[in-house]
Amino acid sequence: MLVSATQMLKDAVAGQYAVGQFNINNLEWTKAILLTAQENNSPVILGVSEGAGKYMGGYKTVMGMVNGMIEELNITVPVAVHLDHGSFEGAKKCIEAGFSSIMFDGSHYSIEENVEKTKEIIAIANAKGISVEAEVGSIGGEEDGVIGAGENADPAECKLIADLGVDMLAAGIGNIHGKYPENWAGLNFETLANIKALTGDMPLVLHGGTGIPADMIKKAISLGVAKINVNTECQWSFQAATRKYIEAGKDLEGKGFDPRKLLAPGYEAIKATVKEKMELFGSVNKA
């Protein structure tokens, strides 16, 4: 069932668990994540970056595929299709294309401009029942080619953006996208607690969920994190399983070249990773 992320995240805050956002890249990713959510009776958020949206043929193609699967695979758990790190123009396009949730990432603007643009996006999205995520304090690592250092968001700025009426707030707390470096200092729980103290029940979003140790994930959830973004980890799972299949020469045996066979181990690997994350985040049986 396609829904906005608003209610599922309110429920997550109240129930002290987090909903996973798993980024999609193609049909295999989408089917693997939707079926795993259904099998585990878990709400789920499908993340679509602007780059991935373009890769899949455009936002309307993404929505055609997801809506078709929800209907034909009988997906009854709550599913939100969410623009990940959207630009101002990208957010408007996704609202038009039927996304149920969008992130407007104005973290690279001045706080004044971030406020103005976020307000405008909220007005357009709210009129259509679409949930909105905003970001304060840029999250390090690579976001579609842009590399930043992990920052700690200013709690007062978080409060300012939260009060605009967003449904969820991404705040930098030392987290980064992609692989964490050996000398990573870990999540800054002091910053997270300060943000939580000012923003109350606002669902907080943890980007860069790949490679954060389980105990830090659990502590973050206890401090108000209700949405955790996982992207790189599914890519690694898919890659490792596909590599194993080819290195074992399976693609050379019989009809092993058939894409439905060639991509099957990667598909199963994504399913296993998503299930593991849903268990860790506590969203199993919360649909």
The residue ranges that bind Zn ion (CB under 5 A) are 207
C-alpha 240: how far from chain center: 22
Q: Judged by CB, which is closer to Zn ion: 207, or 227?
A: 207
Alpha carbons 49 and 62: distance in angstroms, whole number: 11
Question: Which residue out of 84, 105, 154, 167 is catalytically annotated?
Answer: 84
The residues with which 163 forms a beta bridge, in sequence order, are none
Query: Smaller CB distance to Zn ion: residue 75 or 139?
Result: 139
- CB of residue 175 to Zn ion, shortest distance in Å: 9
CB 2 within 8 A of CB 32: no
Residue 142: half-sphere exposure toward Cβ, Cα within 13 Å: 9
Nearest residue to the partner Zn ion, using Cβ:
207
Sequential DSSP letters for 61-92: HHHHHHHHHHHHTT--S-EEEEEEEE-HHHHH
Q: What minimum distance in Å lies between the beta carbon of 229 and Zn ion?
A: 5
Least separation in angstroms between CB 259 and Zn ion? 30
> Residue 163 catalytic?
no
Measured from the CB atom, is 62 or 69 closer to Zn ion?
62
Nearest to 191 by CA among 153, 222, 148: 153
Minimum distance, C-beta of residue 230 to Zn ion, in the bound complex (Å):
10
Residue closer to Zn ion (CB basis): 70 or 143: 143
Catalytic residues: 84
